[in-house]
C-alpha cells in the first residue's frame, strides 16, 4: 500500500501545484507514511523533492508546498515493501538521463530479473526499490521506440506484479501517463484540469467526477482530456461510460465509504492477500529462510495476541504438511525456552507492528543464545525485522483499526506459504501436491474471498439480533481450527466486550462445559478435514444436550451443516486455507455486535495498536 497522486494543469495560475499535491498526499496518508516525495515539471525540467519521514515533518524540513510550482506534477506517500524507508528509497524515482519520473503503488514481482538486464546495458540504480526498474525500462525503451507513450506501454508489458503507476517527463510536459493492475487508481475529471489518485478523497478538493480505472488499463491525462486503452484486449476505452459522480462527504471517503476502519479492513482482505501473494512470489529471502528452517535443529515461533494465533497455525501446518515439530510460545513467556535454544535453532518472530516489546525481548534473548531469527512483519524496518537476521513482510498495508483483521489473514498466508514451501523442499509434498495447494486452494480462496465476505456479513448481522444481550460465549474447534477459534474469541472480547473463551473442543468436557445452560452460545469452527469433523460432531452433540445454542462455521459440503442451530458455510477447500475462509465471519460477528451495542470498534477501551511496554 502506498498513495499516489498526479495533477495536470492548463497553466500554473490555476493552482499552486506543490501545495495541491501536498494536500492530496495528506488525504492519502492513511495508505502509507514512512516517506514521501513530489516531482514537478517546471521550465522544461524535472524538479524532485523527497525524503524519509511523515508528511508534516517533510513539509517542515523540505518545504514541498512553497518551492514547487509548474503545470504537471506527481506525488507519493510510501509504505515500504522493497527497501527500507529512506531518502533514497522514497518516490519519485528517476532514470539515468533524468528525463522520466515515476511513482508506483504495488510490487513489481520480476524486478530482479529486469534489473539485471538493465544493469548489463549500463543503467545505474540508486535505490533498493522494485519501482526504480520501471523508470529505467522506460528510458531504455524510449531510446529504441522514440515515443514516450509507446515506451511506457511496452515497459508495462515487461513487468509482472501489482501496480498503479504514474510517469511524467519534460519531453511531453502536459501529460501524466498511467497504468493499473491490482492496485487502485482513479481519474478525477475537473472542469479545467485533470487528476489521478489512488483513492477518491485525494480528488475531492478538485472534483466529484471520477473514473475508477480497471485492471490492465493504460493511458494518459492532459489538462483537458483523458485517454484510456485496455492493454490486454487492445482497444481504446470510452472513459465517459465509466464516469460517475461521488456523493459522499470527505470524511466518509477517507474510509472509502465504510463507517469504520475495521469494516473497511475486513472488506480489504482479498486485496491485501493478493499483495501478499504477489510479494511472496518475488521475495528472494523466502528461499533462504526455507533452507535455514530445513537445516535447523529446533524451530520456535512466537508472537502476542493475534500474531500468536498465527504462530499456532504455522506449528499445526508444519506438523501436518512436513511432519516437522515447531514449538509455538506466547512471546511474554519466552523465558520458558530461552535456556534451551541454541545456535542451531531458528526463532520465527511474528509481529504486525514489528514493535511489540514482548516479541522484541524474545528475539533478543534467543539471539543471545546464538539462535537465528526470522521476522514476519507488516512494517518495513520496524524494530523486530531490524534486529532479526531475515525479514518477510506481510504487505497488508497500514491497519488503522486497533483490532488485527487483514493482518491476521496475511500473516497466516505468509506462514502457510512458508510451510508448504518447506514441505516441498523436504520432499513431503510432491510438485503436483504443492501446485494444487498453492494454485488451486490458496489462490482459489483469495479469489472467492470477496464473495465469501459479503455472504458471511449478512449472516453475522442476522445472528447479532439474537446475540445482542449475550454475556459469555465459547469458541471451540480441533486441529487447524483451534487458532481460528482463539482469534474469534479474542475479537469478540476486545471489540464487543463479551466474555469469550476458546478451547480445543476436546478440552471443553474438562471444565468449561459447567457454564453451559440453555441458550449459551457456542461457536464451532469446523475445518475441511473429515477426521476433525467427525470428532467435532461429538462435541456439538454434548453442547446441544446441555441446551447450548450451537453456531457452526463449516465448509459447504460438510456433513455437519444440519447438526448446528445456525450454520455459516464457506467454500470447501484444503484445510490450509481455513484462516482465510473461516475467520472473516468471526471478525464480522465481533464488529456487528460492537456496533449494535453502541461501541466504537476502531478504538476499543484500554487497548493500543502497538504495545511497547511489558
Ligand atoms: C488483536 C490485536 C493484538 C495484537 C498484539 C500483537 O486484535 O490486535 O492482540 O495482535 O498486540 O501485536 P503485533 O502483531 O503488532 O506484535
- Which H helix or E strand runs over 264? helix 261-267
Task: State what percent of residues in the chain have pLDDT above 90.
Answer: 80
Active site residue 96: no
Residue-wise pLDDT for 468-484, tens only, equals 899 999 999 999 999 99
Which ligand 1 atom lies nearest to the CA of residue 402?
A: 8
Which ligand 1 atom lies nearest to the CA of residue 611?
A: 11
CB 481 within 8 A of CB 531: no
- Domains for the chain: give ranges and CATH numbers: 3-106+162-254 (3.60.20.10), 258-429 (3.40.50.10490), 448-614 (3.40.50.10490)
What is the sign of the dihedral through the CA atoms of 295, 298, 301 and 302?
A: negative
128: alpha, beta or left? (left if phi > 0; alpha if psi -120 to 50): alpha
Which ligand 1 atom lies nearest to the CA of residue 359?
A: 16
Residue whose CB lies within 8 A of the most ligand 1 atoms, among 382, 404, 601, for a mutation test? 404
User: Residue 605 has what pLDDT?
Assistant: 82
Cα–ligand 1 centroid distance for 557 (angstroms): 33
Crossing angle between the packed helical segments 406-425 and 269-281, to the nearest 10 degrees: 30
> Which is catalytic among the residues 320, 367, 596, 609?
609
Residue-wise pLDDT for 550-608, tens only, equals 999 999 999 999 999 999 999 999 999 999 999 999 999 999 999 999 999 988 888 77
Average model confidence (pLDDT) across the chain? 93
Q: Whose CA is nearest to atom 5 of ligand 1?
A: 305
pLDDT at 299 over 80: yes
CB 136 within 8 A of CB 95: yes
Cα–ligand 1 centroid distance for 120 (angstroms): 45
Neighbours of 130 (CB within 10 A): 25
Whether 521 lines ligand 1, by a CB cut-off of 6 Å, is no
User: Residue 250 has what pLDDT?
Assistant: 67
- What are the backbone angles phi and psi of residue 577, rounded to the nearest 5°? -85, 5
Q: Tell me the whole-structure pTM to 2 decimals.
A: 0.77
Q: What's the rounded mean pLDDT across residues 297-311?
A: 98
Helix (H, G, I), strand (E, B) or coil at 245: strand
Cα–ligand 1 centroid distance for 352 (angstroms): 7
Whether 400 lines ligand 1, by a CB cut-off of 6 Å, is no
Closest CA to 232 of 257, 208, 215, 211: 215
Distance CA 246, CA 242 (A): 13
Cα–ligand 1 centroid distance for 77 (angstroms): 25
Output the CA torsion 411→393→200→580 (10° steps).
Answer: -20
> 420 is written with which cell numbers?
508448504
Q: Whose CA is nearest to atom 9 of ligand 1?
A: 305
User: Residue 252 has what pLDDT?
Assistant: 57
User: Residue 612 has what pLDDT?
Assistant: 61
Distance CA 373, CA 210 (A): 47
Which ligand 1 atom lies nearest to the CA of residue 403?
A: 7
Q: Whose CA is nearest to atom 16 of ligand 1?
A: 351
Q: What's the rounded mean pLDDT across residues 348-353?
A: 95
- Beta bridge partners of residue 39, listed in sequence order: 48, 74
pLDDT category at 234 given cuts 50, 70, 90 is confident
Closest CA to 451 of 554, 570, 285: 570
Residue-wise pLDDT for 250-298, tens only, equals 665 667 778 999 999 999 999 999 999 999 988 889 999 999 999 999 9
487: alpha, beta or left? (left if phi > 0; alpha if psi -120 to 50): alpha
Q: For 182, which DSSP code?
A: B
Q: What's the rounded mean pLDDT across residues 401-416?
A: 96
Whether 304 lines ligand 1, by a CB cut-off of 6 Å, is yes
H helices present in 323-405, as ranges: 335-338, 357-368, 383-387
User: Residue 249 has what pLDDT?
Assistant: 64
pLDDT category at 248 given cuts 50, 70, 90 is low
Cα–ligand 1 centroid distance for 364 (angstroms): 19
Whether 302 lines ligand 1, by a CB cut-off of 6 Å, is no
- 604-610 LR contacts (CB < 8 Å, sep 24+): 604/402, 604/403, 604/494, 604/495, 604/497, 605/497, 607/402, 607/494, 608/402, 609/353, 609/399, 609/402, 610/353, 610/355, 610/356
> 323 is written with which cell numbers?
511432519
Helix-strand-coil split of the chain, %, nearest 5: 45, 20, 35
Residue with the bigger pLDDT between 84 and 344: it is: 344
Whether 404 lines ligand 1, by a CB cut-off of 6 Å, is yes
CB 90 within 8 A of CB 37: yes
Q: For 142, which DSSP code?
A: H
Distances (CA, A) of 79 to 215, 270, 401, 540: 21, 19, 17, 45
CB 3 within 8 A of CB 199: yes
Q: Whose CA is nearest to atom 4 of ligand 1?
A: 305
User: Residue 101 has what pLDDT?
Assistant: 98
Interstrand relation of 217-221 and 226-230 (parallel, antiparallel or unpaired): antiparallel
Crossing angle between the packed helical segments 306-322 and 481-496, to the nearest 10 degrees: 170
Cα–ligand 1 centroid distance for 306 (angstroms): 5
> 531 is written with which cell numbers?
477426521
Active site residue 8: no
Whether 359 lines ligand 1, by a CB cut-off of 6 Å, is yes
Whether 405 lines ligand 1, by a CB cut-off of 6 Å, is no
Whether 356 lines ligand 1, by a CB cut-off of 6 Å, is yes
Side by side, the strands of the sheet bearing 326-330 are: 326-330, 299-303, 346-351, 372-377, 390-393
Per-residue HEC secondary structure of 2-71 comes to CEEEEEECCCHHHCCHHHHHHHHHHHHHHHCCCEEEEEEEECCEEEEEEEECCHHHHHHHHCHHHHCCCC
Question: Burial level of 506, CB count in 10 A (0-12/13-18/19+)?
Answer: middle
Amino acid at each position: 500500500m502506498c498513495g499516489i497522486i498526479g495533477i495536470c494543469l492548463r497553466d500554473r495560475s490555476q493552482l499552486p501545484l506543490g501545495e495541491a499535491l501536498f494536500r492530496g498526499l495528506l488525504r492519502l496518508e492513511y495508505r502509507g507514511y514512512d516517506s514521501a516525495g513530489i516531482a514537478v515539471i517546471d521550465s522544461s525540467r524535472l524538479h524532485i523533492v523527497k525524503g524519509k519521514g511523515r508528511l508534516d515533518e517533510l513539509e517542515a524540513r523540505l518545504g514541498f508546498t512553497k518551492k514547487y510550482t509548474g503545470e504537471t506534477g506527481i506525488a507519493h506517500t510510501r509504505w515500504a515493501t522493497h527497501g527500507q524507508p529512506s531518502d533514497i528509497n522514497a518516490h519519485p524515482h528517476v532514470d539515468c538521463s533524468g528525463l522520466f519520473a515515476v511513482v508506483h503503488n504495488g510490487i513489481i514481482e520480476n524486478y530482479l530479473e529486469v534489473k539485471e538486464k538493465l544493469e548489463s546495458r549500463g543503467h545505474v540504480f540508486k535505490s533498493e526499490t522494485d519501482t526504480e526498474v520501471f523508470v529505467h525500462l522506460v528510458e531504455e525503451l524510449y531510446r529504441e521506440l522514440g515515443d514516450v507513450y509507446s515506451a511506457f506501454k511496452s515497459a508495462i508489458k515487461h513487468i509482472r506484479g501489482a501496480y498503479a503507476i504514474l510517469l511524467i517527463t519534460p519531453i511531453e510536459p502536459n501529460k501524466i501517463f498511467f497504468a493499473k493492475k491490482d492496485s487502485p487508481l482513479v481519474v478525477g475529471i475537473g472542469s479545467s484540469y485533470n487528476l489521478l489518485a489512488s483513492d477518491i478523497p485525494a480528488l475531492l478538493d478538485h472534483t466529484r467526477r471520477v473514473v475508477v480505472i480497471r485492471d490492465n488499463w493504460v493511458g494518459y491525462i492532459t489538462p483537458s482530456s483523458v485517454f484510456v486503452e485496455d492493454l490486454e484486449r487492445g482497444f481504446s476505452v470510452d472513459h465517459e461510460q465509466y464516469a460517475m459522480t461521488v456523493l459522499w462527504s470527505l470524511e466518509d471517503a477517507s474510509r472509502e465509504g465504510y463507517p469504520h476502519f475495521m469494516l473497511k479492513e475486513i472488506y480489504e482482505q482479498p486485496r491485501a492477500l493478493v499483495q501478499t501473494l504477489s510479494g511472496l512470489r518475488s521475495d528472494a529471502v523466502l528461499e533462504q529462510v526455507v533452507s535455514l528452517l530445513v537445516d535447523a535443529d529446533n524451530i520456535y515461533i512466537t508472537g502476542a495476541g493475534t500474531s500468536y494465533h498465527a504462530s499456532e497455525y504455522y506449528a499445526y501446518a508444519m506438523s501436518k504438511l512436513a511432519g516437522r515439530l515447531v514449538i509455538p510460545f506466547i512471546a511474554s513467556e519466552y523465558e520458558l525456552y530461552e535456556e534451551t535454544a541454541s545456535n542451531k535453532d531458528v526463532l520465527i518472530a511474528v509481529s504486525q507492528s514489528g514493535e511489540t516489546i514482548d516479541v522484541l525481548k524474545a528475539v533478543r534473548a534467543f539471539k543471545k543464545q546464538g539462535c537465528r531469527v526470522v521476522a514476519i512483519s507488516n512494517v518495513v524496518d520496524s524494530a523486530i525485522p531490524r534486529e532479526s537476521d531475515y525479514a518477510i513482510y506481510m504487505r497488508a498495508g497500514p491497519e488503522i483499526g486497533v483490532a488485527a483483521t487483514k493482518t491476521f489473514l496475511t500473516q497466516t498466508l505468509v506462514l502457510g506459504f512458508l510451510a508448504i514451501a518447506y514441505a516441498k523442499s523436504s520432499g513431503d509434498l510432491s510438485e503436483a501436491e504443492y501446485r494444487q495447494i498453492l494454485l488451486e486452494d490458496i489462490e482459489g480462496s483469495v479469489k472467492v474471498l470477496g464473495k465469501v465476505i459479503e455472504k458471511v456479513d449478512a449472516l453475522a448481522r442476522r445472528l447479532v439480533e439474537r446475540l445482542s444481550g449475550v454475556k459469555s460465549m465459547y469458541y471451540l474447534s480441533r486441529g487447524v481450527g483451534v487458532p481460528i477459534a482463539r482469534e474469534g474469541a479474542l475479537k469478540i472480547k476486545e471489540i464487543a466486550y463479551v466474555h469469550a473463551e476458546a478451547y480445543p473442543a476436546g478440552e471443553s468436557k474438562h471444565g468449561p462445559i459447567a457454564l453451559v445452560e440453555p441458550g449459551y452460545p457456542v461457536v464451532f469452527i469446523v475445518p475441511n478435514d473429515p477426521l476433525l469433523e467427525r470428532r467435532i460432531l461429538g462435541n456439538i452433540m454434548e453442547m446441544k444436550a446441555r441446551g447450548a445454542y450451537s453456531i457452526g462455521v463449516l465448509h459447504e459440503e460438510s456433513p455437519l451443516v444440519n447438526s448446528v442451530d445456525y450454520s455459516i458455510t464457506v467454500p470447501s477447500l484444503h484445510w490450509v486455507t481455513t484462516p482465510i475462509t473461516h475467520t472473516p465471519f468471526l471478525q464480522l460477528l465481533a464488529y456487528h455486535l460492537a456496533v449494535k451495542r453502541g461501541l466504537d470498534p476502531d478504538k476499543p477501551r484500554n487497548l493500543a495498536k502497538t504495545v511497547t511496554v511489558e
